[in-house]
Amino acid sequence: MARRDFRFVVLNWFRELTLVPVIVVMMFAGSLVNPVFFTTSNLINVAEGGAALGMVVVAESLILLTGKFDISLQGTFGLAPLLGAWLIAPKASQGLGTEWNPWLGLLVVLLVGLAVGTFNGLLVIKANFNAFIFTLAMSILLTGLQLGWLGGQTVYNLPEAYIYLGAESWFGVPVAIWLTIAAFAAAALFLRYHRIGRAMYAIGGNLEAARAAGIQVDRIRIGVFIVASLLAAIGGLMQAGRVTAVTAGQGSNLIFGVFAAAVIGGISLEGGRGRVVGALTGVILLALVTNILTLSDVSSTWIDAVDGAIILIALGLAKLIGTERA
């Protein structure tokens, strides 16, 4: 028997890259809309805009592949960098006044991710709460805490170490972009070649079958929740670094773009299907759309509507090309 069927290999790649022609069309449209589009600085700007989103898309994709989802990633994306910033910023710039060492602040960010992920994982997987309603409630809670503590203000004047990920560049490209690319690459390799990655596909495809095969389904799924929340916290840190502040609204409504990018990128909401390479094309598409809308003189009040329409069109195209998504 043939080891691999060439048809499947081609089909799989085709499925992952459905969005590439759409992206090409968008780039063409972008260059027509505004000559600024094809400048290096603008393209880096696009990538930087997509970088923080991309971190959360990687995170959500991992959870989606195991057949669950987590809406509260956007809450973690906002609250984790806020808590860290709050503890290190002076009172004058809306900090708590404790003025901790920035490195301690960074540790706090990761701890918040760890704590939220563990909490979500334990309650959704072990206590069997419905993932939708539970993580929705968590999201509302986390965002509410963020707003309540800040009282609508912005924490600014953050130390260099704290904003390094979002503000610095390596070889002319912002660190955030490198980091997001690394996260996608690591996730792709892990999912493809690591036994836990393969077990995640097995779990998403048929949880009970994976359990009956001796795969530690609960441990892996909880672990995925934790890793995802950590990634979301790091994504939030990148966002904070980019604007060198944490706003009360950081993360709000982010999750819709995250789901949109993952799903138009071919990650199945049912679990077990899709690759992060596809999700990456989804992120690129969304970042391009946002950028082009900004460059063309679309009124900012209309951006959401156009955004939504373009996601629908992308879904329709994916369906037409014959890959089952959404």
Partner 1 sequence: MQRFSSTGPATSPATVGEAENVSKSFGETHALVDVSLTVQPGECHALVGRNGAGKSTLVTLFTGLNRPDRGAIRLAGEAAPSLADRGAWLARVACVYQRSMVVPPLTVAENVFLNRPVQGEGAVINWRRMRAEAHELMLEWGFDIDVDQEAATLTVEQRQIVEIARALSIGARFLILDEPTAALEKAAVDRLFERVRRLREGGVGVLYISHHLEEIYEICQRVSVLRDGELVLSGRVGDISQAKLVAAMVGSAPPRRATEIEAVRVDSLGGTKLEVKQLTVASRGGSVIDVDLSVRAGECVGLVGLRGSGTATVADAVVGLIKPRRGSIAIDGSPVPVGSVHATLRRGVGYVPQDRHARGFSPQLGVDENLTHAVLDRIADRFGFVSARRRTRIAQEEAQVLQIVARSLDQPVSSLSGGNQQKVVVGRALASKPSVLVAVNPTVGVDVASKEALLDALGRARDEGVAVLLVSDDFEDLRVCTRLVVMVRGRVTAQFDRGPWDRQKLISAVEGLEVAV
- Binding residues (CB under 8 A) for partner 1: these are 1-5, 8-9, 193-196, 198-199, 201-202, 204-206, 208-216, 272-273
Going along 73-168, which residue ranges are E strands?
155-156
Nearest to partner 1 of 11, 32 (CB atom): 11
Task: Between 177 and 215, name the residue whose CB sits nearer to partner 1.
Answer: 215
Residue among 44 and 211 whose Cβ is closer to partner 1 = 211
Smallest distance from partner 1 to CB 264, Å:
19
**Least distance from C-beta 268 to partner 1, angstroms?**
8
Residues 6 or more apart whose Cβ sits within 8 Å of residue 83: 108, 109, 112
How far apart, in whole angstroms, are the C-alpha atoms of residue 286 and residue 19? Answer: 11
User: Are 318 and 18 contacting, i.e. CB atoms less than 8 angstroms apart?
Assistant: yes
Q: How far is the CB of 24 from partner 1 (least distance, A)?
A: 29
Written as one letter, the residue type at 149 is W
How far is it, in rounded angstroms, from Cα 154 to Cα 244? 10
b/e for 106-144, b at 16 or more Cβ within 10 A? bebbbebbbebbebbbebbbeeebebeebbbebbeebbe
CB of 201 to partner 1, least distance (A): 6
Our CB check for partner 1 shows the closer of 73 and 199 to be: 199
Helix/strand/coil for 156 = strand
As measured in angstroms, the least distance from the Cβ of 6 to partner 1 is 9
Q: Which is nearer to partner 1, 126 or 194 (CB)?
A: 194
